[in-house]
Amino acid sequence: MTFNNKYDDMPVYQANGGAKFDLLDLKVSLLHYGIQVDDAVYEVFERKARLSKSPFRCSSLILNEQMSCLIAKTDSKTPFRLTIRDSKPVITHNGDFLTEVSFHAKTPFYDQKTSNGTPFDNLAVIQGEDALTIACLWRCEITQSGNACAFCHTGNYVYPYQSVSEMMEVVRYAVEESPRVKTLKLTAGSTYNPADEIDRYVEILNAVNDTVGLDKLPTLIYLTPPADFKHIDRLFDAGVSCIACDLDIWNEKLFNKICPGKAEITTRQRYLDALYYIAARYGKNRAGCIFVAGVEPVESLIEGQNVLAERGIVSWPSPLMRFGLQEKVLAEMQPFSLDYYRTVRKETARLFKKYNLTPPGTTSSDSCLHRDIWLRRDVLAAE
């Protein structure tokens, strides 16, 4: 079979010690295990690349000049290291050379402050090549109740409250000056009153439209589904492109165990019904759902993807990142396996093709696989 998509290039990297990874294998491995970064990498490249030790700037590296990958936190157990050899940034595996990498071009975005003196990185982050994310808009009340999802890294965090007018200074700069982003993501914790979430989101959407125009900035919102789905209509009326109501886990028994707060307070059925409502009312690709790959058996994850795809709902895998998770939590997850992820990527690509599904975004996402798979859907579906 002949492929004409430039993204179909899937190089294979092999260390002297024998470890072998193709391009997507390497990304999921880096996200799962994390990567140690030599101080020298920051000293040499921070001045000319979008690279920082600050965890609030979501620094990433680029594989094969086309696939963005978050420089995920890690502990001493990772076999991966980002270091310098012959003046170039490279990844090693257990000390053996694996591949050269590159970084996103430096932007003055993070040097900026709002008119009130708030640093831009207190309000938003640039992810991948061209996505602006306004994240952690409010704290997750489910986590506060002691019923957090077992794999969650951000439930206890929230950015300091900032006015919508300050957010719009950030949006305008990111769209019109640097780095000229092409998509916007709005995220926050799950709350007991999703209708209040929607009030806030509508306010932000209206402001974005007035500032730069939502036609220029497709927007994805991560939402706790409300009991009355008519509230969701307000977001589409305000111009949202896609709404993600994340189940995270398809297997009902595991969902109840690993996401106890979601299961008890919001309920799995409400997540499903909200996704079905959006798809039925607004059409294909307007409802989205993340599954945390590596948590449940691959068969149940794929079952969930199929059920949603048949209804025009686009779902995508986000690899489990182990950093900071207790061993007893990791014991509940699936053992890390590249074969697991190869099965997931093939089935996801097949569903994207069969149902003409398009996940939100443009190029590669730092920490999810949806755009990586979609851009390579022909070659991956044929594996």
Are 183 and 289 within one domain?
yes
* For residue 4, pLDDT beyond 60: no
36 and 142 belong to one structural domain: no
* Average of per-residue pLDDT across 3-17: 81
- Between 138 and 300, the more confident residue is 300
Q: Please say which residue of 80, 103, 126 terminates a domain.
A: 103
| 295, 248 contact by CB (below 8 A) | yes
Would the pLDDT of 156 be above 80? Answer: no
Asked if pLDDT for residue 3 goes beyond 50, the answer is no
- Rounded to whole angstroms, the Cα distance separating 11 from 23 reads 6
User: What is the average pLDDT score of the chain?
Assistant: 93
**What share of the chain in percent tops pLDDT 70?**
97
Identify whether 256 is part of a domain.
yes
Residue 161 has a pLDDT of: 75
Same domain, 136 and 89: no
Interatomic CA distance for residues 49 and 55, integer angstroms: 16
Residues 67 and 190 in one domain: no
Indicate whether 89 and 180 sit together in one domain: no
What's the rounded Cα separation, in Å, for the pair 211 and 225? Answer: 27
1 falls within a domain: no
Both 77 and 22 in one domain: the answer is yes
Q: Same domain, yes or no, for 93 and 203?
A: no
**Mean pLDDT across the stretch 7-36?**
92
Is residue 56 assigned to a domain?
yes
Q: Does residue 3 form part of some domain?
A: no
> For residue 164, which phi and psi values (nearest 5 degrees)?
-65, -35
pLDDT digits (tens, 9 = 90+) for 295-333: 999 999 999 999 999 999 999 999 999 887 777 778 888
Quick one: average pLDDT of 200-226? Answer: 97
For the cut 50, the answer to whether the pLDDT of residue 2 exceeds it is: no
Say if CB 174 and CB 126 are below 8 A apart: yes
Could you report the per-residue pLDDT of 90-128, keeping only the tens digit for each? 999 999 999 999 999 999 999 999 999 999 999 999 999
**Is residue 102 within 8 Å of 69, Cβ to Cβ?**
no
So what's the pLDDT on residue 8?
Answer: 80
Residue ending a domain, choose from 61, 76, 103: 103
Instruction: Identify the pLDDT of residue 146.
Output: 86
SS3 per residue for the chain: CCCCCHHHCCCEEECCCCCEEEHHHHHHHHHHHCCEECHHHHHHHCCCECCCCCHHHCCEEEECCCEEEECCCCCCCCCEEEEEECCEEEEEECCEEEEECEECECCHHHHCECCCCCEHHHCCEEECCCEEEECCCCCCHHHHCCCCCCCCCCCCCCCCCCCHHHHHHHHHHHHHCCCCCCEEEECCCCCCCHHHHHHHHHHHHHHHHHHCCCCCCCEEEECCCCCCCHHHHHHHHCCCCEEECCCECCCHHHHHHHCHHHHHHHCHHHHHHHHHHHHHHHCCCCEEEEEEECCCCHHHHHHHHHHHHCCCCEEEEEECCCCCCCHHHHCCCCCCCHHHHHHHHHHHHHHHHHCCCCCCCCCCCCCCCHHHHHHCHHHHHCC
**283 and 330 assigned to the same domain:** yes
**Which of 167-171, 246-250, 266-270, 333-337 comes out lowest in average pLDDT?**
333-337
Same domain, 295 and 364: yes
Q: For 1-5, 33-37, 238-242, 287-291, which range has the lowest pLDDT when averaged over its residues?
A: 1-5
Question: What are the tens digits of pLDDT across the range 340-350?
Answer: 999 999 999 99
Whether residue 254 is found in the same domain as residue 326: yes
Closest among 120, 134, 119, 112 to 184, alpha carbons compared: 134
Give the pLDDT confidence of 55-69 residue by residue, as tens digits. 889 899 999 999 999
Cα-flanking dihedrals φ and ψ of residue 338, to 5°? -65, -30
* Average confidence (pLDDT) over 260-276: 96
The answer to the question of residue 267 being in a domain is yes
- Write out the residue range of the structural domain in which residue 217 sits: 117-381
Is 110 a domain residue? no
Q: Rounded to 5 degrees, what are φ and ψ at 199?
A: -55, -45
Which of 79, 103, 127 is at the close of a domain? 103
Amino acid at 227: A
Please check whether residue 90 is in contact with residue 84, taking contact to mean a CB–CB distance below 8 angstroms: yes
Instruction: Give the CATH number, domain containing residue 196.
Output: 3.20.20.70
Shared domain check, 82 and 149 = no
Residue 283 and residue 143 share a domain: yes
Domain assignment present for 348 = yes
Predicted local distance difference test score (pLDDT) of residue 147: 87
Question: Is 2 within the bounds of a domain?
Answer: no
Instruction: Return the minimum-mean-pLDDT range out of 14-23, 154-163, 358-367.
Output: 154-163
The reported pLDDT for the residue numbered 259 is 94
Number of structural domains (the chain) is 2
Confidence of residue 157 (pLDDT cuts 50, 70, 90): low
pLDDT band at 155 (very low <50, low <70, confident <90, very high): low
Provide the pLDDT for residue 14. Answer: 93
pTM of this prediction? 0.95
Between helix 268-282 and helix 230-237 the angle, nearest 10°, is 50
pLDDT of residue 1: 43
